[in-house]
Structures are given as structure tokens and as C-alpha cells.
Amino acid sequence: MGVIVDMYGEPYDQAELTRELPQASLTGIRQVWQGTVAGGMTPEQLTAVLESSIGWDPTNYLRLAEDMEEREGHYYSVLGTRKLAVESIDVIVEAASDDAADVKIADAVREMMALDCVDQSRADLLDALGKSYSVGGIRWDTSEKQWQPMAIEYMDPTWFMFDRATLRELRLRDEADPINGLQLKPARYIVHRPRLKSGLPIRNGLARIAAFAFICKAYALKDWLAFCEVFGMPVRVGKYGANASAKDVATLRRAVANIGTDAACVIPESMKIDFVESAKGNGGADVFERLCNYLDRQMSKIVLGQTMTADAQSTGLGSNNASVHNEVRGDIRDADCKQLATTYQHYLVKPFVDLNFGPQKKYPKIIIKQPDPEDLKQLTDSLAALVPLGLEVEQSVVRDKLGLPDPAVAKEGDAPIKLLKPQTTAAIPPADRLDEPTDPAQAIGAPRRATNSRQPQLATQDEIDNLVDLAMDGWEEQMSPIVGAVEKLAQESADEKEFLQKLPLLLGEVEPSALVAALASATFKARGLGDATDKTQV
């Protein structure tokens, strides 16, 4: 098989692929426990975190991105919606061609992509939308004498770093080289780096854009809660008489203090407790609510590309216009799908094919795309109209677009039909055998068309049509004596009146025996066919 290299020209180390993946340790450079950075964060601290991430060590930024998903419910919701929009779409594997070898490879890739570990890896790889990259470690299984992924493990993004020279190559943190990290081995990792904007990879994460709204909302919620604590409950005022003793005053104080939690108290009849409603704070509550709603809408635009499905709003006439939006804007969803498909193509499909079938000139193509029912209907209608006119289309292309599997190959080396062809429901006999019946059941009344209208027999042709075809066979020879005599009379007649007067005299001169015999034969066959097909009624 020779040396197998990846898309970057790096050779596969098959011995390395069978070793365990890098693991976390309690005290090493890769640890499971990670601290948080979002608690009590100030705008100045946020700026420091974002600036420090534009370098080889993005650890604090990655921790902030994780904290945002845990602390901010709206961000968690819209980010999850965007991920699910891609996860819910089925993966299509398109064969490189209709050749038997390519179909076999495509079938193997299709089975591999349907494995649970591969299907579940989509959720982990889409974690890159928020953090700018995500890495899955491939554990290969060779127990059945073939290479098959048995697990794709999510690896903590803080275990990786960027190279110091370009800040673009992702490297594994390791004690062997804590400064520069280790190069990621081919066929060992799946690295998904969505391209949401141009520039350094670490600056592509959605968390980086939504971080400012996250901090602002945290401040707004904190102030809103303080506002509610002051203005949300009425002031309890206890009144006691001039003759009240110190013990009575203490009793009243305890009652006022406990009434907020106990919702009940016992005081002497001479005492009184009033509830004085607080001022509305000059509309302060509305200010905080509007600010939080505004920040939520900004997060929805950042992540989903729209706000209508994420934030319920009444806009008067046409307020149901949320129905015209998808959960995620269509172009954003399609771009996410295409980039994830490219990741699988480079980091999983190519190694899988190389390890099992050797390097190929062309590889099966991974497609993750939301099918449009209107597009599929238009496709089938177009094929039905154009293929009979001679348009050549590979069957594998159409099957892949419709999500249908490739047909099984009968024998090793045999290839399935490559092109779509117009099909008739009945066999078309050769041109020199059109007069022969193709079905023994049609022995009586088999199609014998006139020589000037020889057409393939269609499934809609019934026994009556067959009898007509049989009767028309040889009609020129049968009608020739009659037609010839009529034409001769027309030439000899001086006018139409003379022609009509002499026409009845032709009955004694014309010999119609051939025509009479043909009509009699057709009538006999029609009567016999009718008797054979009539149902007996009791």
C-alpha cells in the first residue's frame, strides 16, 4: 500500500493510532478541573481576558466562554438552537463515481458515518461555534481487520495552544514541550474551526462577540435585583401608643421584623401596623427590563442572525411574522453544515478510506444540507422531462440528492447502471420483429401495426387496440381494388353528377374478397376474445 499521508502530506503512524489518547492528570499540564473567570468580572477584566487570548494561550477566554453558557440562560438557549439546527440534519455520502470500487468505498463510509460515536461527535465539534475551535480524539478499532472509529472523545479546549509564530496551528499541551506544545498527529484528531470571520482562528468564536452583552446584562440584573429589594415590597410601619412600655415596643419591633417571612404576627390590641406602598422608583423597573430585553436581542442576532423566533414580540399588524423565519437563519445554518462536512471530510473520511482502501484519486463526499421539498420536486420533474430527451445523469448523483442508498453490486467487478435512462413498461422488440407478439397471452390480437406507424407497444394498449392493429395490417393491399376503381371512375367522369350516377355500378365490377375476409377474421377474433373475457353472472 505504500506510505499513506494526510491532507497536509504528513505520513500516518499506524502504531501511534492504536495508542491511548492523551489524558488529564491531577497535577500535570492537562487538568480536568478548571477555575471560572466570570464571577464578579468587571469591564476592565473582560478587556484583559480578550486581549490576552490573542496569543498562544487562550485559556482564560475559553473559561469565560464556558462560564457564559452556564450563567447566561439566553445565550445558552440560542447557542444550543444553532447547534441543534446542524445536528438534526442527516449526513449524506456521495460516491466519487458509479464505478464498483467507488460505490463500495462510499457504502463503507456511509456505514462509518452512521456509527453512534460519529453521530454524537457532531454536538462536541459544534462547541467550536462559541469557543472558536473544538477537538475530538479518535480511538480506532482494528479487531475486525479493518480500521473503524470506536469512539470520538471530546477533548478540553484548554489542553491545546496555538503556535507562537503564526497563532494558527493548534498544538497539544504536554510536559515534553510545555512552551511550544506537540504537533497533532494525522488521523488522530478531528479539529473543527468554523470560519465565522476573517483573521486569527481564536477571534472567530461567538463568545467573544457576545461577551460584552453578557457583562452588561450581569450588571443590569444585579441592579434590578437591588431595585426590587428596595421598591418591590411595602414598608412596614409599627405604631404604638404614648403609654406603651419598653416591652411593648420590643414586641412590636419583633412583629414588624418577622412579618415579612412569617406573614403573620401577634400584637396587643392597642398597637397598629401599617403597610405603606413604596414609590415606583420613577419607572426604574421598566428601564432594567428594557435593557435586559435589548441585550437578549443582541445575543439572538449574534448567534441566530435574527430575533423573531428567540424573542416573542408583538408588532401589531403582521405580528405573526416570526413564522417566516427559521430558528436559525438559513444561510447561517447552511454555512455551519458545509464547514462541519468539510471537517469530517478532511479529518475522518480521508484517513478512514486511506487506512482501509489505500489512497484514492477521488474520495466520497460528505454533504450535510437541509433538504428543500420544493427543490426535490423540481429535481424529479426536471429529470422526468429531460432524461427522455437525452440528458445524461449519473444515478449515484440523483440517489445521493434524494438520500437513497446505492444498489448492491451483484458480483465483484460488476458496476451498476451509470446513467438514468427512459424506461418503458413493456419490452420494445427489434425493428425486424415488431410483427411478432411479445406476450403469449396476446397470441390472439397481437399487435401488427401498419408499416407507416410502427411504434413500441405501451402498457396502456388493450386487446381492442391489438385487434385494430391486426386489422390495419395489409390494408393497402385489401383496399387497392376498390380505391383503384373509384379513382378510374373519377377520371373518366365529366362532372360530379356523372360520377355519382355511375358510382353504384362499381359494386358489380370490384372484387372485395380480400377486404371481406380480413373483416370477417377480425370479427371472429373479436367475438372469441369477448367470449373468453366475459364474466359468468349467476
Which pLDDT score, from 0 to 100, does residue 416 have? 52
- Please tell me which residue, 415 or 254, carries the higher pLDDT value: 254
Backbone angles phi, psi at 151, to 5 degrees: -165, 145
pLDDT band at 325 (very low <50, low <70, confident <90, very high): very low
- Please tell me which residue, 453 or 396, carries the higher pLDDT value: 396
How far is CA 192 from each of CA 340, 362, 479, rounded to the nearest angstrom? Answer: 7, 22, 82
Facing residues of 91 across strands?
368
Which pLDDT score, from 0 to 100, does residue 63 have? 95
* Burial class, 237, CB count within 10 angstroms (exposed 0-12 / middle 13-18 / buried 19+): exposed
Which pLDDT score, from 0 to 100, does residue 68 have? 95
Which pLDDT score, from 0 to 100, does residue 371 have? 74
Q: Which of 10-14, 152-156, 415-419, 508-512 has the largest mean confidence?
A: 152-156
Which pLDDT score, from 0 to 100, does residue 382 have? 85
Task: Name the percent of the chain lying above pLDDT 90.
Answer: 39
Asked if the model's pLDDT at residue 30 lies above 90, the reply is no
Rounded mean pLDDT of 202-218?
94
Rounded mean pLDDT of 199-212?
94
pLDDT band at 492 (very low <50, low <70, confident <90, very high): confident
For residue 451, the 8-state DSSP code is: T
Which pLDDT score, from 0 to 100, does residue 449 have? 44
What's the grid cell of residue 95? 460516491
How far is CA 269 from each of CA 252, 266, 275, 443, rounded to the nearest angstrom? Answer: 11, 9, 17, 116
Which pLDDT score, from 0 to 100, does residue 80 have? 95
For residue 271, the 8-state DSSP code is: -
Which amino acid type is present at position 53?
Answer: S
Which pLDDT score, from 0 to 100, does residue 121 have? 96
Which pLDDT score, from 0 to 100, does residue 72 have? 94
Lowest mean pLDDT among 159-168, 224-233, 362-371, 394-403: 394-403
Which pLDDT score, from 0 to 100, does residue 442 have? 47
Average pLDDT score over the chain: 80
- Please tell me which residue, 149 or 468, carries the higher pLDDT value: 149
How far is CA 127 from each of CA 83, 132, 192, 363, rounded to the nearest angstrom? Answer: 8, 8, 9, 27
SS (H, E, C) 364-375: CEEEECCCCHHH
Asked if the model's pLDDT at residue 135 lies above 90, the reply is yes
Lowest mean pLDDT among 20-34, 154-168, 197-211, 495-509: 495-509
CA angle at 180 for the pair 176 and 183, rounded to the nearest 5°: 75
Rounded mean pLDDT of 224-244?
76
The structure's pTM equals 0.65
Secondary structure (3-state) at 170: strand
Which pLDDT score, from 0 to 100, does residue 43 have? 93
Which pLDDT score, from 0 to 100, does residue 410 have? 46
Which pLDDT score, from 0 to 100, does residue 328 have? 85
d(CA 103, CA 105): 5
Report which of 66, 69, 64, 89 is spatially closest to residue 80, judged by C-alpha positions. Answer: 69
Which pLDDT score, from 0 to 100, does residue 221 have? 92
Secondary structure (3-state) at 485: helix
- Please tell me which residue, 7 or 266, carries the higher pLDDT value: 7
Secondary structure (3-state) at 477: helix
Which pLDDT score, from 0 to 100, does residue 374 have? 56
Rounded mean pLDDT of 361-389?
83
Digit-coded pLDDT (tens) for 63-90: 999 999 999 999 999 999 999 999 999 9
Q: 425 CB contacts (<8 Å, ≥6 apart)?
A: 458, 459
The 10 Å Cβ neighbour count of residue 311 is 17
Rounded mean pLDDT of 117-121?
95
Which pLDDT score, from 0 to 100, does residue 308 have? 66
Rounded mean pLDDT of 344-366?
94
Lowest mean pLDDT among 126-135, 162-171, 302-311, 339-348: 302-311
CA angle at 462 for the pair 456 and 465, rounded to the nearest 5°: 75
CB distance 417 to 395 below 8 Å: yes
d(CA 535, CA 538): 10
Rounded mean pLDDT of 244-267?
73
Q: Where are the beta strands (DSSP E) in 95-194?
A: 134-141, 148-155, 160-162, 170-172, 182-183, 189-192
